[in-house]
């Protein structure tokens, strides 16, 4: 069983101080001391269901190595919620969520505690629309309350609900949210990722218990920028997470989901003002190649993305600003060129989905007379210097043509 947790002093030496909350401005996430926490997620939907404890530890360790902080996982696994786990245990006795199976939940507890020791946070998917015959409006509140009470003092959790984006689901979602709040007193965030449907804001944005919005775009990379921009401008302001796009290595989309495609999804998310979750097809399908998938190129390159973005001065003050690109910008279609900046102009960031020539307005860098500019290869993290330039100018630059995609950074000197 997971032991109770009451103070950050009980944690192993980590970067985070649990639990994670939403920032005062509603744009990003912070720890309990108010320090910004970079959101880079991954999906391991069946980690409690289809893997042994030893295999789950391998997954957690390799996930941490790549730089991920958040893991999305389905409490009852992929399916209708009635299938046993790898040890032959079902989550609920007689498929009744008000009769939890102690053996099953001890396994869940063990994995969550191991994740805590590794500084990883689980998004616990406790309701999926495929389980709607089992979890109903009648029993949802009691079920959620039991779960929340059990994990009340476990810090590394976020609650995830996955209905279809239809008003018909609002009553059961409200019952689940009531149960969660009763059970843990609001200790953990609650979010919704519709499946199959694009975004939570389409039907429940104003629900007071919804702490942040999630988007699922599947194969439609062209939807990422407009959907995030829509949510970014909503009131009340809430963080936005692209919770599922196309999975690396996936074969169901009609095209190859290459590392380049994976990078585009992620950089589009962040430069539009959101946060991002990666996934690999072999992991969620629990294929024999799941170990190799943990070290896939796209997963490694998500770690590069995190190091680059979180290395920017006050990265959490990112503001999307397409006016930075005087020429060469593009916000429509699948091949985008996007820009963002530090709120006070300490840096500018441009992502080019393929090499091209762009004109960048450096006058956005307030209070700085000069800037250091450089290119970064998102595949490798390689940095290619451009040099020092005056900020009261528009600079026209051509990206390295041999790269697949390109980051351009300008930092105030």
What pLDDT tens digit does each residue of the chain (413 aa) get? Answer: 333 322 233 333 346 767 899 999 999 999 989 999 999 999 999 999 999 999 999 999 999 999 999 999 999 999 999 999 999 999 999 999 999 999 999 999 999 999 999 999 999 999 999 999 999 999 999 999 999 999 999 999 999 999 999 999 999 999 999 999 999 999 999 999 999 879 999 999 999 999 999 999 999 999 999 999 999 999 999 999 999 999 999 989 999 999 999 999 999 999 999 999 999 999 989 899 999 999 999 999 999 999 999 999 999 999 999 999 999 999 999 999 999 999 999 999 999 999 999 999 999 998 899 999 999 999 999 999 999 999 999 999 999 999 999 999 999 99
Q: Are 228 and 215 in contact (CB under 8 A)?
A: yes
**pLDDT of amino acid 251:** 86
User: Domain segments of the chain: what residues?
Assistant: 8-310, 318-412
Question: Cα–Cα distance between 262 and 257 in angstroms, integer?
Answer: 7
Please give the DSSP secondary-structure letter assigned to residue 220.
Answer: -
Q: What is the pLDDT of residue 18?
A: 74
Q: How far apart are CA 117 and CA 2, in angstroms?
A: 11
The encoded tokens of residue 325 equal 């690109």
| Beta-sheet pairing, 347-352 with 406-412 | antiparallel
Helical (H) or strand (E) element with 254: none
CB 391 within 8 A of CB 368: yes
Q: What gap in Å lies between CA 162 and CA 38, rounded to an integer?
A: 23
Q: Which fold has domain 8-310?
A: TIM Barrel (3.20.20)
| CB-based burial, 358-390: b 16+ in 10 Å, e otherwise | bebbbebbeebeebebebbbbbeeeeeeeeebe
What's the CA gap between 109 and 154, in Å, rounded? 9
The pLDDT value given to residue 330: 97
pLDDT of residue 4: 30
Name the class of domain 318-412. Answer: mainly beta
Residue 17 is predicted with a pLDDT of 67
3-class DSSP assignment, residue 88? coil
Distance separating alpha carbons of residues 318 and 339, to the nearest angstrom: 10
CB-CB contact of 193 with 221 (8 Å): no
In angstroms, the Cα distances linking 246 to 153, 258, 299, 370 are 34, 10, 13, 40
Helix, coil or strand: residue 340: strand
Residue 14: what pLDDT? 42
Both tokens assigned to 277: 């979750």
* CA 364 – CA 347 distance, rounded (Å): 9
């Amino acid at each position: 069983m997971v032991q109770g947790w009451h103070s950050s002093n009980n944690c192993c030496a980590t970067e985070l101080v649990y639990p994670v909350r939403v920032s005062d401005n509603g744009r990003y996430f912070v720890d309990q001391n108010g320090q910004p926490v970079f959101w880079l997620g991954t999906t391991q939907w069946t980690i409690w269901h289809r893997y042994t404890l030893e295999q789950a530890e391998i997954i957690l360790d390799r996930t941490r190595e790549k730089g991920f902080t958040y893991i999305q996982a389905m409490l009852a696994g992929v399916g209708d919620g009635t299938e046993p786990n790898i040890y032959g245990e079902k989550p609920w006795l007689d498929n009744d969520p008000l009769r939890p199976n102690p053996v099953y939940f001890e396994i869940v507890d063990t994995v969550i505690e191991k994740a805590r020791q590794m500084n990883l946070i689980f998004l616990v998917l406790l309701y999926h629309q495929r389980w709607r015959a089992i979890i109903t409006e009648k029993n949802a509140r009691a079920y959620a309350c039991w779960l929340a009470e059990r994990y009340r003092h476990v810090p590394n959790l976020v609650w995830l609900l996955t209905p279809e984006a239809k008003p018909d689901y609002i009553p059961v979602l409200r019952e689940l949210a009531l149960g969660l709040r009763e059970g843990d007193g609001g200790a953990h965030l609650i979010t919704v990722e519709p499946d199959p449907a694009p975004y939570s804001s389409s039907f429940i944005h104003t629900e007071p218990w919804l702490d942040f919005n999630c988007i699922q775009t599947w194969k439609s990379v062209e939807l990422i920028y407009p959907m995030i921009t829509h949510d970014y401008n909503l009131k009340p302001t809430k963080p936005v997470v692209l919770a599922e796009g196309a999975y690396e290595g996936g074969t169901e989309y009609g095209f190859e989901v290459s590392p380049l495609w994976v990078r585009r999804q992620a950089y589009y998310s962040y430069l539009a003002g959101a946060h991002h979750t990666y996934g690999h097809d072999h992991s969620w399908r629990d294929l024999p190649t799941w170990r190799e998938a943990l070290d896939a190129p796209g997963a490694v390159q998500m770690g590069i993305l995190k190091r680059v973005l979180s290395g920017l001065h006050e990265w959490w003050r990112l503001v999307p600003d397409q006016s930075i690109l005087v020429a060469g910008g593009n916000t429509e279609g699948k091949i985008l060129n996007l820009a963002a900046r530090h709120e006070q102009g300490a840096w500018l960031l441009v992502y080019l989905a393929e090499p091209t020539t762009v004109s960048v307005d450096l006058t956005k860098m307030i209070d700085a007379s000069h800037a250091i500019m450089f290119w970064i290869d998102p595949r490798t993290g390689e940095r290619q210097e451009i040099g020092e330039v005056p900020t009261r100018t528009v600079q026209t630059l051509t990206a390295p043509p041999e790269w697949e995609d390109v980051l351009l950074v300008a930092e105030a000197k």
